[in-house]
Chain A
Amino acid sequence: MLQARGLQLGGVPELWNLEKPEEITAIHRAYVEAGADAVYSNTFGANRLKMARTGHTVQELIPAAIQNARNSGAKYVALDIGPIGHMLEPTGTLPFEEAYDIFREEIEAGKDADLIVFETMSDLLEVRAGLLAARDAAPEKPVFVTMSFEENGRTFTGCSISSMALTLEGLGADAIGVNCSLGPEELVPIVEELCKWTTLPVIVKPNAGLPDPVTNAYNFTPEKFGVCMQKFVKLGAVILGGCCGTTPGHIRAVREMLQTQTVVERHPVIPAAVCSANQTVIIDQPRIIGERINPTGKKRFKQALIEHDIDYILGQAIQQIDAGADILDVNVGLPDIDETEMMVSAVKAIQGITDTPLQLDTTDAKALEAGLRIYNGKPIVNSVNGEEESMQKVLPLVRKYGAAVVGLTLDKNGIPKTADGRFEIAKRILDRALSLGIRREDVFIDCLTLTASAEQAGVMETLKAVSRVKNELGLRTVLGVSNISFGLPSRELVTRNFLTMALYAGLDLPIINPNTESMTSAVRTYKLLANIDKNAVDFIAHYGAETTPAPAAKPASSGMTLGAAISAGLRSEAAALTKSMLADTEAMVIVNEHLIPALDAAGAEFEKGKIFLPQLISAASAAQGAFEEIKTYLSEHSDGTVNRGTIVLATVKGDIHDIGKNIVKILLENYGYQVIDLGKDVPYEDVVKATEQYHAPLVGLSALMTTTLPSMEGTIKLLRERCPWCQTVVGGAVLTPDYAEKIGADYYAKDAKETVDIAKRVFQN
């Protein structure tokens, strides 16, 4: 419509609110006259980032747009909000809280609208920021959200229909649906799926068919559009409209069609489920919650938390997912660290690499809320218990953020000895949750495993409680099982059998170490025997190839030396060899006499051009495997760590390429340096803060774009002012030694190998 009136492709439609208000009102009016009940204001891109280049503010543009819409005589005027136009972290660089502020500013500027609409959204995390802003800034106003799906049922960022529905209904949207991207015919299966996943009113705003690839003209006439839209009425959608290519004629056709239709009532039954943006896990069968992201009793994990070693946590996440975890528990609490900050960092980082849903495990309400705020999807909260204080603290957060929650059957009197006692607490937690508006399907009960060695009689009470909670209250059950065997010999045997018993008693969510094959296989076997894994498809997929019992893992045999394993890039062999060497060799001897010489040799070959970067990295990766074993050993057996000096590393502000920096990091770590990795797109101030905090003698900065070199210069300048003790080394494809000198760097490194040489010089080791 705007283009027909002269707006250029790539022009800024929002400016017309000020420049040509009568044109905008005329367009709104044409739709009102065609029978539209509500019109969306011309504010799709009216956020502060997109409007920055226009010279006009959000506060000028949005009120004008609302007034233009109001002047059309529409029954309802909706404040229309589109995507911000910058991707949020971790895909992009926009922080969640900034997105929240941007949306909040739009919502406050549009206070005269009757309702708020987010449309054409692709990133669920961005929608969450918007919805939270709307709930906070305009709690009384209805909020509609529509996202844009492709034919595969995913948005551009991969968000699935079920994840959208579970997350947004939980967060308190008033109506949800789809708009744009496809025509009415292609949207039918998508709307059908959406109707299964939400009890909210469903919105459908398709394009006028599909665009012609050359002319971009849409191919549906108003008549055809009107006919097709009937399908959505039959599916139960109650708010209909049009997106790209739909004219007042199309809307008139819909209005006329509606006069012949009656509303179809929907009664969807939404299953118990949790999700990330891209993956929904339905709790309709036992699902494994991986327990390894937890410092309790793990010195190596504690050390990682203290050193803010997020990569270590990511490693734990990947290992468990590969082993078969469906959900990951995340517990990053430790005295002396900022748990709130760590929870946010860990959740962001884990969600940046995997779609597996998470269970946020903390007793700190502040850390819990911070995690819930930035979690992309619908998580589980672990946990609440039957104490009044706990319920008052935790359940409102669960409700606000639309999470599921684990209820522990204990209260101020401790854990009841009997199944009946635990059942009563479960009931108390459920009643309170229901009274706050939390769905029954979102309450999972943990009947608590006691150790068989100390309270043998309690074992069957736990299982009885599981059965009762499952059958009488109809709730899903959770149980951490490992505790059962504490203090007994053959722990694995005891735990595995208890796990099977618990599954039979009705356990849905075993919290286990999925890396222990006997646990994961017990769950898979149970699913086979309980006729859940139909035709044993999953079981055969995992164990079908085993014709003979798997041979016990050989202790990296075949006479290979650690040096040879490293130069061949054999990571697991290098790790296994190191582990066996640690039995009779000092850790530092392994580092100094085996690891480093092997890396030096690889580095020399690389410099001579005998091997290439991939082989050097391959060797570094193998050395990393060896080093991880040493770190674990040292954290378990002494307080010592290998630290030849602390180096802060960062990819500079504005730059998001970090592959090169990661290579440098790994090589430095292999040589025994402690690397504080600040990641990519790092603000100057953060580099300075870390350098101050660790009093780091050396800071490495990387930049891959010519456009981000000024950031490098800026960072160095600030370091010179605030951290005069530190030296800087810079690298990256576009840098030259001359340029490095010009921007005041102490050293230029042409590659990762040279960075190590420079570190050796700076630390004189």
Chain B
Amino acid sequence: MISLSSVDRAQAFRYMGHRGDPDAQMLKTADFCEKRLLAASRPRYVYLVTPLRFTDAGVICEGTALTLTGHDIAAHLQGCSRVILLCATLSAGADTAIRMASAEDVLAGMMTDAMASALTEQLCDAAEEEILANFAGFYATWRFSPGYGDLPLETQGDFLRTLNAEKRLGVTLSPGGLCIPTKTVTAIIGLSDKPVPKGKRGCAVCNLRTTCPYRAKGAHCK
């Protein structure tokens, strides 16, 4: 399994809406939050690779009960023969660390949350790298998630069931359709034997699109 030894602080500070160099006080809080978050998190992932079939009803992940609907996912997977279905989580411990930090101090709570988001992205990057090592010679698309574009967020339920994510990873859905533990990402990565257009990963497909302080101000992070 993947072990992550540090948080991408630059990313975490960006998520918080911080620009420039953090001062000593901020760094002290960051040290404290990072240490506890890393101790509490247990990063892990599961994945499944299936062949794809493109139909009018959507893209079918063969051998599973999962159908991906909408134009955006079809465009994303255009030219791909197979798909990697990935679910990665920091586990319930990260949520406890965020709750504890929030109860102690509002800044620590916000910072732990942002750090956990950054760490989740790091986990996805590392997971993707490990998985793709098994697929030398293939080209991979970027990570697309249920809820991006016109792929309904409701896909999440079938997605997690297909991966048996509850049993294998401890990931469940809230009645509102959110992943619990909250620092969890589901992603769809297309595999093609020909180069795939990289496409643009803008705000609409960012995992932080709902909570991003830049976006709230109508700006971008980079």
Contacts and interface: CB of A to CB of B under 8 A. Distances in A.
B92 A613 contact: no
Contacts of A751: 216
Contacts of B102: 658-659, 662
Interface string A604-633: 000000001111011011001000000000
Nearest to A664: B106
Contacts of A568: 25
From B103, B113, B164, residue with most partner A Cβ within 10 Å: B103
Nearest to B63: A9
Contacts of B42: 152
B17 A353 contact: no
Contacts of A87: 92, 172, 174, 180-181
Interface stretch (B2-10, B93-101, B190-198): B93-101
Contacts of B169: 156
A613 B217 CA distance: 12
A666 interface: yes
B178 A618 contact: no
From A86, A156, A180, A663, residue with most partner B Cβ within 10 Å: A156
Nearest to A618: B107
From A705, A706, A750, residue with most partner B Cβ within 10 Å: A705
A666 B109 CA distance: 12
Contacts of A120: 167
B106 A621 contact: yes
Interface of B: 13, 16-20, 22-23, 25-26, 29, 42, 48-49, 63-66, 91-93, 95-96, 98-100, 102-107, 109-111, 113, 134, 153, 157-158, 161-162, 164, 166-167, 169-170, 172-178, 180-182, 210-213, 215-217
20 contacts: A10-B161, A49-B175, A85-B172, A85-B173, A86-B175, A87-B92, A87-B180, A87-B181, A91-B180, A155-B170, A156-B169, A156-B170, A620-B106, A621-B105, A659-B109, A659-B110, A659-B211, A662-B102, A681-B174, A733-B216
B63 A656 contact: no
A10 B65 contact: yes
Given A659-B110, A662-B106, A613 B213 contact: yes
A618 B172 contact: no
B113 A569 contact: no
Contacts of B107: 569, 614, 617-618, 620-621
From B64, B96, B106, residue with most partner A Cβ within 10 Å: B106
Q: Give the 5 A-B CB pairs with smallest separation, nearest first.
A: A156-B170, A10-B162, A654-B176, A10-B65, A353-B100
Given A91-B181, A92-B172, A614 B65 contact: no
Contacts of B134: 213-214
Contacts of A570: 25
Nearest to B212: A733
A222 interface: no
A9 B162 contact: yes
Nearest to A624: B106
A158 B92 contact: yes
A10 B92 contact: no
Given A93-B174, A659-B113, A352 B105 contact: no
Contact of A318 (B100, B110, B153): B100
Nearest to A243: B167
Interface string A249-273: 0000000000000000000000000
Contact of A8 (B49, B63, B113, B212): B63
Interface string A74-96: 00000000010111001111100
Nearest to B112: A659
A618 B180 contact: no
Given A353-B99, A618-B107, A621-B107, A612 B16 contact: yes
Contacts of A70: none
A311 interface: yes
A390 interface: no
A217 to B, nearest CB: 13
A571 B172 CA distance: 38
A706 B174 contact: no
Nearest to A354: B100
Interface of A: 8-11, 49, 53, 83, 85-87, 90-94, 120, 122, 148, 152, 155-158, 180, 213-214, 216, 311, 314-315, 318, 352-354, 568-571, 612-615, 617-618, 620-621, 624, 653-660, 662-663, 666, 681, 704-708, 733-734, 750-751
Contacts of B63: 8-9
B170 A318 contact: no
Nearest to B166: A85
Contacts of A666: 106
Nearest to B111: A614
Contacts of A318: 100, 103-104
Nearest to A571: B105
B174 A656 contact: yes
Given A659-B102, A708-B176, A10 B64 contact: yes
A377 to B, nearest CB: 14
A555 B120 CA distance: 42
Contacts of A214: 49, 134
A764 B124 CA distance: 49
Nearest to A11: B65
A10 B157 CA distance: 9
B98 to A, nearest CB: 8
Nearest to A654: B176
A311 B174 contact: no
A315 B103 contact: yes
A616 to B, nearest CB: 9
B106 A663 contact: yes
Contacts of B64: 8-10
Contacts of A354: 100
Contact of B25 (A148, A569, A734): A569
Given A613-B16, A615-B26, A653-B176, 6 more contacts: A86-B175, A87-B172, A94-B175, A621-B107, A656-B180, A662-B109
A52 to B, nearest CB: 10
B100 A656 contact: no
Contact of B18 (A10, A614, A708): A614
Contacts of A620: 106-107
B29 to A, nearest CB: 8
B96 A352 contact: yes
A705 B13 contact: no
A12 B153 CA distance: 20
A311 B103 CA distance: 6
A157 B92 contact: yes
